[in-house]
Amino acid sequence: MLNCLRSPGKMAVSRLPFFLALAFSSLSFVLSHWNREMWFQDFFPPNMCPINAKDNTFYGIMFDAGSTGTRIHIYTFVQKSPENLPELEGEIFESVKPGLSAYADQPEKGAETVKRLLDMAIDAVPPHLWKKTPVVLKATAGLRLLSEEKAQSLLLEVREVFEESPFLVPEDSVSIMDGSYEGILAWITVNFLTGQLSGQNQHTVGTLDLGGASTQITFLPRFEETLKETPGDFLTSFEMFNSTYKLYTHSYLGFGLKAARLAILGALNVEAVDGQMFRSSCLPKQLEAEWHFGGVKYQYGGNKEGETGFKPCYLEVLKVVKGKLHQPDEIRGSSFYAFSYYYDRAVDTNLIDYEKGGVLEVRDFERKAEEVCDNMEKYNSSSPFLCMDLVYITALLKEGFGFRDNTLLQHSWTHEVVCAALHCSEVIFNIYSKSLQCAQCRSCSC
């Protein structure tokens, strides 16, 4: 079974960033002390959540530098008693587009977008707590796609912005998160918050995340045969709750939804020049337009003289995914949660309700892809890539990972709760760890 995540609340977050740059032993401590029920109580409206500035209130500032945008989360925690970990009291959220990677050749301008968001924190956090409030930025696949030199130039500029701010800047405050960590931390959080890791009979679920530049798959193998047939670098072991877990996890850089568009167009790793048109049968025949991704402008359009529609599009997409991903046999009968663009495109095409969610099968994506691709003119103006995106998701699940047509996608749980929990658990741990180092220190670090 495959479950796609959505929240009953309306926090303004559309993807699942995972920013727990902690050793697993640290994360284990946080999770073992976490009150799981608190995440379901009084969840937050868009952009602003209630914040109470009290003497026992602490703050943490987390930046999510994704491939399509940069987001700031300003968290407020309350320490209700010395023996317990702080609880989440509120959050302020805002975002800007494009992402930092769009400023690969202008790192100063990229850092300026971070500074504009950081100014919100200056207004939100009481001045007497500025020096005790940490600020951290974690970048994901967008920066991993850049050269080391360009990525580091961006990070250095952001670090300088942080250093010039009145906030606490931890040693490793600006960094790129490894893709596998994203998958592992998603798995831990989803299974903990859904209660899959409690009790004697643990029935864990796998996780699938489809971002803009990369995609992750993570699950706990049940069969020894899976472990034997899996490449060694796809397996990670760690201890948690007095148990040892050996996860199958891998991040495929370049297989996110936006990066896949480039690959399908034949524009991935190609230097775009003015006047060069990238065409695809996955696009409306008469379409010609511009699209910006990763700081590069691409001109794209449909096949004016050739075929368009689902069948020729699927053949194009197959060249991108078939034989490129490892296919563990075990996943065909496993349960999975899916988020980010899996959820977004299901909502965009009315496969599920934004608020209520719903239950889908993998073939529902295929049926919707056929409907959209064979009637592309109907969707041209508002969403020219919709056919391509749906076909890619279908092919990724079926031909890439090897899921069956009848694998279920149940939209029954929360996308943003998981997102917030991931951010906040790291903040909570750092609050706790710093309080151990100095009893008077009331700061936290993401």
- The two tokens of residue 310 are 């689902």
Q: Does the pLDDT value for residue 94 go beyond 70? A: yes
Is 184 within the bounds of a domain?
Answer: no
Q: Does the pLDDT value for residue 365 go beyond 90? A: yes
- Find the range with the poorest average confidence among 2-11, 66-75, 114-123: 2-11
Rounded Cα distance between 133 and 412, Å, is 35
Is 243 within the bounds of a domain?
Answer: no
Burial 281-319 (b: 16+ CB within 10 A, else e): bbbbbebeeebebbbbebbbbbbeeeebbbebbbebbee
Is 134 within the bounds of a domain?
Answer: yes
Greater confidence (77 vs 10) lies with 77
Q: Residue 31: give its domain's CATH number.
A: 3.30.420.40
Looking at the structure, tell me whether residues 35 and 133 fall in a common domain.
Answer: yes
Q: Does the pLDDT value for residue 394 go beyond 80? A: yes
List Cβ neighbours of 82 (8 Å cut-off, separation of 6 or more): none
Q: Of 34-43, 113-122, 196-205, which has the strongest mean pLDDT?
A: 113-122
Q: What letter represents residue 141's amino acid?
A: A
Greater confidence (17 vs 370) lies with 370
- Count other C-beta atoms under 10 Å from residue 231's C-beta: 9
Percent residues over pLDDT 90 in the chain: 42
Rounded Cα distance between 93 and 401, Å, is 34
Rounded Cα distance between 218 and 165, Å, is 37
Q: How far is CA 381 from CA 261, 284, 347, 384, in A?
A: 18, 10, 18, 6
The pLDDT of residue 196: 79
Is 168 within the bounds of a domain?
Answer: yes
The helix/strand/coil state of 168 is strand
Is 174 within the bounds of a domain?
Answer: yes
Looking at the structure, tell me whether residues 39 and 136 fall in a common domain.
Answer: yes
Segment 266-291 mean pLDDT: 86
Rounded Cα distance between 236 and 63, Å, is 27
Looking at the structure, tell me whether residues 146 and 267 fall in a common domain.
Answer: no
Looking at the structure, tell me whether residues 51 and 95 fall in a common domain.
Answer: yes
Rounded Cα distance between 236 and 429, Å, is 22
Is 245 within the bounds of a domain?
Answer: no
Strand partners, 90: 76
With cut-offs at 50, 70 and 90, classify the pLDDT of residue 78: confident
Looking at the structure, tell me whether residues 175 and 263 fall in a common domain.
Answer: no
With cut-offs at 50, 70 and 90, classify the pLDDT of residue 252: very high
Q: How far is CA 276 from CA 259, 271, 272, in A?
A: 18, 10, 7
Segment 209-218 mean pLDDT: 92
Segment 425-433 mean pLDDT: 46
Reported as a single tens digit per residue, the pLDDT across 326-342 is 999 999 878 888 888 99
Looking at the structure, tell me whether residues 28 and 158 fall in a common domain.
Answer: yes
The pLDDT of residue 79: 75
With cut-offs at 50, 70 and 90, classify the pLDDT of residue 413: very low
The helix/strand/coil state of 159 is helix
| CA-based end-to-end distance of the chain | 33
- Find the range with the poorest average confidence among 289-293, 343-347, 365-369, 381-385: 381-385
Domain range holding 282? Answer: 257-324+358-411
Greater confidence (417 vs 170) lies with 170
Is 230 within the bounds of a domain?
Answer: no
Reported as a single tens digit per residue, the pLDDT across 236-248 is 988 776 778 899 9
Is 28 within the bounds of a domain?
Answer: yes
Rounded Cα distance between 185 and 20, Å, is 7
Inter-residue contact 141 to 212 (CB < 8 Å): yes
The helix/strand/coil state of 340 is strand
Q: Render 384-439 in DSSP notation, one character per residue.
A: TTHHHHHHHHHHIIIIII---TT-EEEE-B-HHHHHHHHHHHHHHHHHHHHHHH-T
DSSP state of 84: S
Greater confidence (273 vs 101) lies with 101
Looking at the structure, tell me whether residues 33 and 167 fall in a common domain.
Answer: yes
Rounded Cα distance between 348 and 382, Å, is 11
Q: What letter represents residue 32's amino acid?
A: S
Looking at the structure, tell me whether residues 369 and 425 fall in a common domain.
Answer: no
Looking at the structure, tell me whether residues 14 and 113 fall in a common domain.
Answer: yes
Segment 265-289 mean pLDDT: 86
Looking at the structure, tell me whether residues 390 and 270 fall in a common domain.
Answer: yes
Number of domains in the chain: 2
Rounded Cα distance between 339 and 11, Å, is 15
Task: Choose, from 182, 330, 370, 399, the residue flagged as catalytic.
Answer: 182
Greater confidence (126 vs 170) lies with 126
Segment 377-404 mean pLDDT: 90
Reported as a single tens digit per residue, the pLDDT across 13-28 is 333 333 333 223 223 3
- Count other C-beta atoms under 10 Å from residue 355's C-beta: 11
Reported as a single tens digit per residue, the pLDDT across 130-166 is 998 989 898 887 888 888 999 999 999 999 999 999 9
With cut-offs at 50, 70 and 90, classify the pLDDT of residue 440: very low
Inter-residue contact 4 to 411 (CB < 8 Å): yes
- The two tokens of residue 49 are 């959540």
Indicate the Cα dihedral angle 246, 252, 253, 259, nearest 10°: -150
Alpha helices in 255-375 (DSSP H): 257-265, 310-321, 341-348, 362-373
Inter-residue contact 354 to 347 (CB < 8 Å): yes
Looking at the structure, tell me whether residues 14 and 148 fall in a common domain.
Answer: yes
Q: Does the pLDDT value for residue 43 go beyond 50? A: no
Active site residue 182: yes
Rounded Cα distance between 390 and 382, Å, is 15
Per the listing, tokens 């309700």 go with 353
Average pLDDT in the chain: 78
Looking at the structure, tell me whether residues 68 and 106 fall in a common domain.
Answer: yes
